[in-house]
Chains A and B, each alone.
Chain A
């Protein structure tokens, strides 16, 4: 008898909080060289005392090693990642994370290196980072890259600050950043952090940027345009060269949000499209894992005059010696301490090293095949529709709408997402981009085999069928996950919001109302 996916069940442990099982006196670590303590105390001849020191022991619950292992393993069993099943979150590029990379980054010759140790003792690592920088510049069509930024959004902030400083240095007061209405939320947020006013550009019925609307707002106050290409609809901006020309002619700069690079990597380069600054997400496109929200690694690249503005230090070579160059006449400064999130960066290096240019191109093509294969399977399915020019091929991702389903059955995109969980499939990104009602934004990446894509499309159809016959049943989902539908209102209500166990106890004691 073969197991059916319908019987998927997630672990349901009712695992207590560590506070409910731990004890401050318990510990799971034997500290090194404890036998030396009496002798050390004697030699030092003093002990910590004075008003800055505490008398009490921190009130933190401890567990033995075996109890800690079980506690967190049970929590892991109530979680879900790419190694469990598909996670087709659109714009998140949830690829498979190769295990060989995990093994290599745990080598002591990476793991035990101190960021401030002498450069002559880390030449091998610097050489890898140097090659990574060259490769990323080549892939994006840029001159130089800074590996310093810790995530994509930090890369956007770096880019926005570079644009700001560039215009300031040229004596221009340009305070408007153009951002399409289909953009990732980080784009307007980053522009605002850099002190820009955000001007929203609408999307045309073709699913690309509305060129007329763009032309009507471009002017002497335009600092730049932040754009993803392909867009969050998965559609390539076919007028990108005209867009770039309008922006450049008005004195503005073009910023490329690299979150959507996967489907065109090695085929088309942002630099050739006219972009001046690019950020990449090593944790998306270059297969470093997301870790439940991070660490990621962003990289920000620039060409021409804008190289001077990149965050420092940059990795450089001088006669076969590799070193960090901190020189900064015009640069914006540093986005974080030291050089970047080295562990994910090395995984990015290993990914490019494994695949080479030809392999990366095949990756891009396969991700686009997967998207369009899925579209073919789903496009005539009852309850769903494909907004914006269905005749256009999508690239890394596709956005479908469950609006017909909602109108005809009352079952929403959110309900569909929860129902998918009951089949052991992670939901797509939902309700994004904001320009699509009842949006389900799906990105399989090249990692998913055709069979998984078929299963996913079939499950979406099955859920729609059930919505037409028994909508109440769909709205009950999920029932197979470790908890039932989570109460977001209770979670956020001022009278019940509880961000820590400390607040939980204060509420119990009536100290917070």
Chain B
């Protein structure tokens, strides 16, 4: 037991320190500390995990290299893939700030006085998001966009004590699966609302015909999963409110540089995936679940998640505290509004740094740049015989394209040319095998886009 040197990151595990500790405790064998554990449960030998020995940093690096060398990275051009998770610029300062040990290695700020800086950063995150969406209350934070939607639905069930939620039938399929999972225990009913075949937008007629006195919420994605920007959002909000239902909007944060914010058109709850705001790709995680709510006692009391508020200290100076904690699990246990505790706080700090670096003007410029680039790709594609966009409606960074043949085969050819193309829609809808969803962002230069279009043009002629 033990060895002359301490093991990694356990500074007092050397024989010398251990025998000192044991003699102070008055025991001779460390296994005396496990004397209350039934003997037959104790493993005879250590579990067979890892690589059979303790690795130094250098050996770890070389071991990992063997794995990482099998991955292919697409940077030039960046992926044209989205699905609600697109490549965006992450300014170096964002990663630098969230690597600061006082943020990175902190716990939830349960001791307010020693963690004011972290709390101020989270308060600033909440405030910046509130001004972005034009709703007054924001939490910090949910796990990702999909669980933010799930929590919004659960909240709507609690607030209205009803069980029906209207969702677009072309809702993000991965979000839909997550939401159905989270609602499994709640006897809720998701009612799909049709979309217009031409515009790809939610059919207001169908929505109005399906909403009734049992409806807890109307949910829309703006833009939709397939890219269409909704136009009748105010009418949808009215329809929901007339029946006493909540209006829940999922938005794309950068798009609000150009689009009207959900708070301006009647959203009661606005949710989003915050990944575009400085989180990076990271093979899909971590993300950042953005969750904002209209200022209404009835709503705020039912909000999930942690909220930082402004207050004062014993000397009357400005200070920050966790607020409305009586909603949370560590106080309310089974009566809590959610079980969430660990969240995505560091990514919320990243979003605060990111938004501060951009500022309002920068966000507008960014959104404009993305809009132009995605429209440039759509235009170029339609010049080479691809229908793009498929829907006749406004779009922001993602849009669908229809090819004269199966997209999957085209995708393979693009990959051979070092291009990671769009998302084949047969992943979710087998009948849409000729279609894909592209995402274009500020990272795609005209050259990148031209390269993609030229490759596609070549491939579809084959």
Contact = CB atoms under 8 A, between A and B. Distances in A.
Contacts of B364: 57-58
B226 interface: no
Nearest to B154: A193
Contacts of B404: none
Given A50-B394, A290-B107, A44 B126 contact: no
Contact of B359 (A24, A37, A98, A116): A24
Interface string B310-351: 111111011111011100111111111011111111110100
Contacts of A89: 107, 110
B61 A113 contact: no
Contacts of A202: none
Interface string B31-59: 01111111001110111111111110100
Interface stretch (A69-77, A247-255, A403-411): A69-77
Interface stretch (B71-79, B384-392, B454-462): B71-79
Contact of A490 (B300, B311, B347): B311
Interface stretch (A212-220, A300-308, A348-356): A348-356
Contact of A81 (B21, B106, B313, B356): B106
B295 interface: yes
**Interface residue tally on A, bucketed by range:** 35 or more
B409 interface: no
Given A24-B359, A417-B111, A334 B42 contact: no
A290 B46 contact: no
A427 B111 contact: yes
A82 interface: yes
B213 interface: no
Interface string B102-118: 11111111111111111
B371 A32 contact: no
Given A58-B363, A62-B356, 5 more contacts: A45-B379, A161-B184, A352-B50, A482-B116, A487-B321
A125 B67 contact: yes
A194 interface: yes
Contacts of B261: 54, 58
Nearest to A341: B285
Given A60-B363, A392-B36, A353 B98 contact: no
Given A53-B258, A499-B323, A189 B376 contact: no
Nearest to B104: A289
15 contacts: A17-B127, A37-B372, A46-B375, A76-B100, A89-B110, A111-B280, A115-B83, A235-B36, A238-B36, A266-B47, A336-B287, A362-B13, A373-B25, A484-B314, A484-B317
A220 B190 CA distance: 31
A29 B91 contact: yes
**Interface residue tally on B, bucketed by range:** 35 or more
A191 to B, nearest CB: 7
A345 B146 CA distance: 19
Given A54-B261, A104-B64, A186-B339, A295 B344 contact: yes
Contact of B357 (A29, A122, A492): A29
B281 interface: yes
A345 to B, nearest CB: 8
Given A138-B47, A335-B178, A111 B282 contact: yes
Nearest to A25: B361
A421 B112 CA distance: 10
A84 B106 CA distance: 9
A280 interface: no
Interface in A197-256: 198, 235-236, 238, 240-241
Contact of B319 (A189, A353, A486): A486
A238 B72 CA distance: 50
A274 B137 CA distance: 44
B340 A362 contact: no
Interface in A491-505: 491-492, 494, 496-504
Given A43-B376, A48-B371, A373-B21, A340 B285 contact: yes
A269 B308 CA distance: 38
Nearest to A140: B47
A335 B181 contact: yes
B131 A60 contact: yes
Nearest to A485: B314
B178 A52 contact: no
B46 A72 contact: no
Interface string A284-306: 00010111111111000000000
A235 B35 CA distance: 11
